Structure 1
């Protein structure tokens, strides 16, 4: 039996671009005719991805699977940690909710217990693919965490992977971060590092030549490439992306349509709004205070890992009353998943699923109630918008069952016969459990055009590309960019 070759991308710190480089390598290897598959043993992420069979994995691995042209499975990310409360995360094991666990219990007890499950996934991938692209987490040199680190060098040893160490020059100190990381690895770990990559470069590469020559001589490890900064239109993995260039707040008045998304403390699956950034004439702001809200055309309440806690936060900050006041002035309100639940009359938590239990009053903008339950819904879905009969696709990830009252109209009818979401009679308040709603580009364009007409602006007549086409364009563009600046011939030799 042929065992897959393995390459692992590790970083000198978090947010150096590991996920993006893994995505690029998945598409490059696929374009070169190899059966390639992504893998990350343990992922802590606020954004997740639902596979065809209803498994929940890190969004980065779902994206990488798409880039590799393979169906995503739970083997690609056997452990997903979703922060829920301070020092408590939901543990998703092999794509299914396992339990909520505090950090100390997870580190001291669970890590070693779960290693056989991780090994099982690695062996499966080794037996069914040509190349495994492994992604590390944070840095392999966190000496206070190394004893229980199952996401970096331990995985490299398990998969017999050559390691590429990525450093982010944009944040400064790139050579110090490389030397420092290597110095904190033991001999066996350091021997696995076969190449260095300098990422997010802006400027003249010639100015780096002396430093590259020095670091290669000092470490004996080749620099495989210097990759210029690129603003890739690919889903973000976690909350670090909220401070990226793409999400910097534009000034009000710069755009025809002003969209404000409330940055809830426990926000999740915020990639739902990504398509809005690409709509002509639309500005998107992330706000977390009443003073920042202003008077936008649209307010979005996103998903959250704890609806009741974040609803209480809305009340404490004054955003609760501010949203209600803007609704009376004709501002459109859209709630997704947890944000949808907040739009109702009451939220019931009899079993303490969301925390201490009890009842919380919602915004009362839609006549409905939500009761939280322990069974988690994770499924890809499709359906039709009731008012327009247009087809949409997306995915559900939620705890809780929402019941509409008699006077409330559902937003869409799902393919499996269920009704989803709700819409007010004037169409100014919309709620849905459908993550990825704006990735249905025709629906998004129609919504934006309706707002434009309401404001007395001309609708946009440009053709709309499908989300699948745009994602393919992004994967190909990223792959070409990385291939151009990475020594692929040397990388293939390293893998062999």
Structure 2
């Protein structure tokens, strides 16, 4: 193999075109061939994030791509992360940490120069230590409001003159026009970097598409390098909320129904991917006021703006419905910001979460939360606290059983009235600790935790769902599937499909030009 490190960039005609999963597939394909491969995304705007082993925050998609390449996720794979907070406010994360010195709205060297240097430094380090870098763009390279420069796309491609493949999803229509239009809007220099086109999520008869493909190639002078078929029931975490849909489900009165409250600034919805894979439950995302009494479990997820989204719950009437469901004995779970909302009061003197400085919570847990300027970001290991309130669930676990997850939160929680914690944190970023996490109400039908990835722990998820199954008299308890094994199976399935439908050797040769 040549010593020169190859680079190949995947850009899309829009969000949800399939960039992230295509990069994921290429990472697995090349890694399986023994090529030291690594993903890279220079700049990203997403509320779905992941914490690396050393406590740094990156986008969830790059963590999955790193896993596909059999690598540990690092901040160099995704050095700039922007988290939208609404009303024009954003949180800027540079190399895994919040940077309050940068003002996103001032187009001055105070952030442009920082962005440029950060991207170049991270990409340089990745190329030094690897044989192939698969680069993912963001959104579209032809967004006319984002050309000075577009750090996420052509700016990054130009650093090492990386060849670009342009991908578009045919699923929702307009695919061919969006490929033509995107190329039309690119500058001649940027258009020259585009070496091929990819049509994604094709379900029809190729013979009917063939004339359009010929026209596309003749008109654009670009090769259509692959028609990727739609891959049914692919269960992998995604970062783009445009891909957020209920799980596949056939109506059956004997199946569980779970509601996830779709908050306006919901974050880390990948927390529920493991629930989507369960065969006997229906997972719905609820954003409008409706009767929640028909559900077996209601989950309030994490959010980038806890106080603002709590205010939304109250004004929409969903807060009242959640309380009504809790009084009826329905299980309520809060994750991260959702956990904070379940408490008595939320206090934000520094305006960390927005303009609301103080707001009453839902009052279902005896906790208060104060928001600080510093963000808590750790991979953690926990043991369940053997509380009496949770006895019918926790009796299934031994005191030695360990669960894993990660924390991403600004608030610190205070326990009131001798409230019992749900977990004991025993390790944070690989350092031994003895800290509290989560809380349970006296009735045992409401609990919360800061742990993202909680449901990915097979034994915990299985015990919780079996508790709900028993309550609904659904018959014999079900054994949990192995979530991590399913992720690996789906990564290989995705890679197999892409490898079958594209000339991998041509891509490798292209990356080394």
Taking structure 1 as the reference length, the TM-score comes to 0.95
Q: 1:174 to 1:461 in 2, by over 3 A?
A: closer
Question: Structure 2 CA distance, aligned partners of 1:167 and 1:286?
Answer: 26
2:239 corresponds, among 231, 237, 240, to 237
Residue 341, structure 1, aligned to residue 358, structure 2: no
SS at match of 1:146: coil
* Equivalent pair of 2:46/2:59 in contact (CA under 8 Å): yes
Q: How many residues align?
A: 492
1:428 and 1:285, CA in 2 relative to 1: closer, same or farther beyond 3 A?
same
The partner residue of 2:418 within 402, 407, 412 is 407
Corresponding residue of 1:477: 493
- Tell me the distance in 2 between the aligned counterparts of 1:300 and 1:347: 19
Task: Answer yes or no: is the 8 Å Cα contact 1:379–1:397 preserved in 2.
Answer: yes
- The answer on whether the counterparts of 2:265 and 2:309 sit within 8 Å (CA) in structure 1 is yes
Alignment pair present for 1:110 and 2:126: no
Q: Which residue of 1 aligns with 2:255?
A: 256
The 1-side partners of 2:202 and 2:103 are apart by 38
**CA RMSD in angstroms, aligned pairs only:** 1.9
Give me the TM-score of the superposition, normalised by structure 2: 0.92
**How do 1:68-467 and structure 2 match up within 5 A?**
68-99=69-100, 103-105=104-106, 110-230=111-231, 231-242=233-244, 244=245, 246-247=246-247, 256-291=255-290, 293-387=292-386, 388=397, 389=399, 390-415=401-426, 416-462=433-479, 464-467=480-483
Q: Distance in 2 between matches of 1:254 and 1:7?
A: 49
Question: Aligned partners of 1:362 and 1:100: how far apart in 2?
Answer: 31
Of Structure 1 and Structure 2, the greater helix share is in 1
Unaligned runs of 5+ in 1: none
Give the deviation of 1:114 after TM superposition.
2.1
CA distance in 1, matches of 2:435, 2:45: 32
Mapped to 1, the partners of 2:228 and 2:360 lie a distance apart of 50
Q: Is the 8 A contact 1:111 1:150 kept in 2?
A: no
SS in structure 2 opposite 1:171? coil
Name structure 2 gaps, 5 residues minimum.
387-396, 427-432
The offset of 1:323, in angstroms, is: 1.0
Distance change (3 Å), C-alpha of 1:356 and 1:217: closer
